[in-house]
Amino acid sequence: MKIRTFILIIFLAIYTSAYCQLSRSEEQKLDSLMKENKIPGASLSILKNSKVVYSKGFGISNASNKVNEKTIFQAASLSKFPTGLLFLINTQNQIFDLDNDVNVYLKTNKLDGYKSEPNTIPTISQLLSHTGGMNTHGFLGYKPNRKIIPTIENVIDGKHTFLWESEIKIKNKVNSEFNYSGGGYCYLQKVIKDTKGELFRTVMQKELLQPLNMKNSYFGLNPNKEDDIAYGYKNGKPIKFGYRVYPQEAAAALWTNSFDYSQLLLEVLAGLNDDKSSILTKESIALLKSPAKLSNGKLIRSGLGVGLQLDENKKVKGISHGGANVGYSSFFYLNLTNGSGYVILTNAHYANLKEIKNLITENIAEN
C-alpha cells in the first residue's frame, strides 16, 4: 500500500508540473484583468510542445453558474479557421480545387463580377484569405425570437435581413487588396451546401468536428438546451435572450470551448509534422499558412482562414485569429515552430484582451 501511495504521489507531482501552467498568482492576475475589463467569464487552454497543458474556466457563464471545462461560448470569427480546414480536407479528397472560382460550385446565388472585370470571379482561396474584393465585414446576428431568421441564401441576397445588411457582392477588383469579409464566407457556406447537398453545419460536424472528437462543439443557430452555455454580456450586463443567432455559420456560428478548439490547433501541428493519423496532409498545412499573393505581387499576412505571424526573417512562424460577436470575444494563437499557443473564449462584447494575451504569452515563453 505504501509503495502504491508513493507511486501515486510521484505521478501527481509529474502531472501537476506538466499540466498546471498558470501559477496561482497568474490566475489571480487573470481574474483581476477580467474584472478590470468587465469580462464575466472565460475559457482558456494553453498548448506547449504540441500538447494541451492547461485548460480551465474562469468567472461566470450566467447569473447563477460558473464557467467550467465544458462551458461553451460563441467563437465568433474563430469559426473561419475550421471553415478553412474543411475546404482543405475536401481539396485533399478532390471535391474542390481552391483555384477554381466559386461560381463553378454554386447552383444558385452565383456571383456577378466587378464592373470593370465582369468575367473575374474570386476563387475559393481568395475568399478564404479575404482577397476576393467582397463587401460586408461582419454581422450583428439576430435575436433568437425574431419572426424570420434569414437563410444563407437570404443573407447573400439581402432579404429578411436588417436594413443595413445589403446584398453580398464584389465591391473591388478581385485580388487587388486585403479586405476582411465575412460576406465572402457566406458564399463559401453556400458552396458547401450546394456541392454536398447538406447544410454546412451537418457537413462540418461529420467531416471535421466528429473526427477530431470535439464533443462539445457544433455550428448552428441555437445552442443545445442541455449544454452549459456562457451567455453574452455587454458593458457588464447580460444581453437580451442571452445570445444572438448567426445564419452566417461559416463566418461566425461555432459554439465551442477552448479545449475542444485546441484540437484544431493540434491537428494542424500533426499535419505539419506529416503524422499519418492526421486528417490533414502536410501539403494542406503548407497551403493554409501560405501568405496570399495579390495581383501586384505583394504578399499579405493572410492564409486560408487564418492570420499569419512572421519571424524576423519574414517567414511564417505562427497562425492566429480573433473574433467578436455580440456579447462574445475570442482569440487564438499557435506557434508552428515549437507547438505552443493558446485559445481564449470570453462572454464579453468587444472585450479588451490585450493584457490577458500578454500575460499568457509571457507564461508560455517562461515555461
Contact between 328 and 345 (Cβ < 8 Å):
yes
Q: Is residue 11 part of a domain?
A: no
Domain count, the chain: 1
Q: How far is CA 59 from CA 195, 230, 333, 345, 367, in A?
A: 42, 10, 22, 12, 25
What pLDDT shows up at residue 1? Answer: 41
Quick: pLDDT tens for 207-248. Answer: 999 999 999 999 999 999 889 999 999 999 999 999 999 999
User: Could you give the residue ranges of the DSSP H alpha helices within the chain?
Assistant: 2-19, 24-36, 80-92, 124-128, 152-157, 182-196, 200-204, 249-252, 258-272, 282-288, 354-366
Q: Is residue 162 part of a domain?
A: yes
Mean predicted confidence (pLDDT) in 164-181: 97
Residue 10 in this model has a pLDDT that exceeds 60: no
Mean predicted confidence (pLDDT) in 3-13: 39
- In whole angstroms, what is the distance from residue 49 CA to residue 23 CA? 19
What pLDDT shows up at residue 4? Answer: 41
Q: pLDDT class for 365, splitting at 50, 70, 90?
A: confident
Q: Which residue has the cell 474543411?
A: 86
- In whole angstroms, what is the distance from residue 356 CA to residue 32 CA? 10
Among candidate residues 256, 264, 261, 210, the one with its CA nearest the CA of residue 229: 256
| Close Cβ partners of 250 (under 8 Å, ≥ 6 residues apart) | 79, 80, 83, 185, 186, 188, 189, 192, 200, 219
- In whole angstroms, what is the distance from residue 73 CA to residue 355 CA? 21
Domain that holds residue 92: 23-59+67-366
| 8-state DSSP, 339 | -
Q: pLDDT class for 12, splitting at 50, 70, 90?
A: very low
Count CB atoms within 10 A of the CB of residue 270.
18
Q: Is residue 17 part of a domain?
A: no
pLDDT above 90 as % of the chain: 91
Residue 2 in this model has a pLDDT that exceeds 80: no
Q: Is residue 16 part of a domain?
A: no
Predicted TM-score (pTM) of the model is 0.94
- In whole angstroms, what is the distance from residue 65 CA to residue 53 CA? 25
Q: pLDDT class for 367, splitting at 50, 70, 90?
A: low
**Rg from Cα positions in the chain:** 21
What pLDDT shows up at residue 8? Answer: 36
Q: Is residue 15 part of a domain?
A: no
Query: Which CATH number is 71's domain given?
Result: 3.40.710.10
Quick: pLDDT tens for 76-89. Answer: 999 999 999 999 99
- In whole angstroms, what is the distance from residue 6 CA to residue 165 CA? 64
Q: Is residue 166 part of a domain?
A: yes
Count CB atoms within 10 A of the CB of residue 200.
25
Residue 5 in this model has a pLDDT that exceeds 80: no
What pLDDT shows up at residue 345? Answer: 98
Q: pLDDT class for 366, splitting at 50, 70, 90?
A: confident
Residue 299 in this model has a pLDDT that exceeds 50: yes
The secondary structure of 107-135 as a DSSP string is SSSPPPPBTTBTT---BHHHHHTT-S-B-
Q: Is residue 12 part of a domain?
A: no
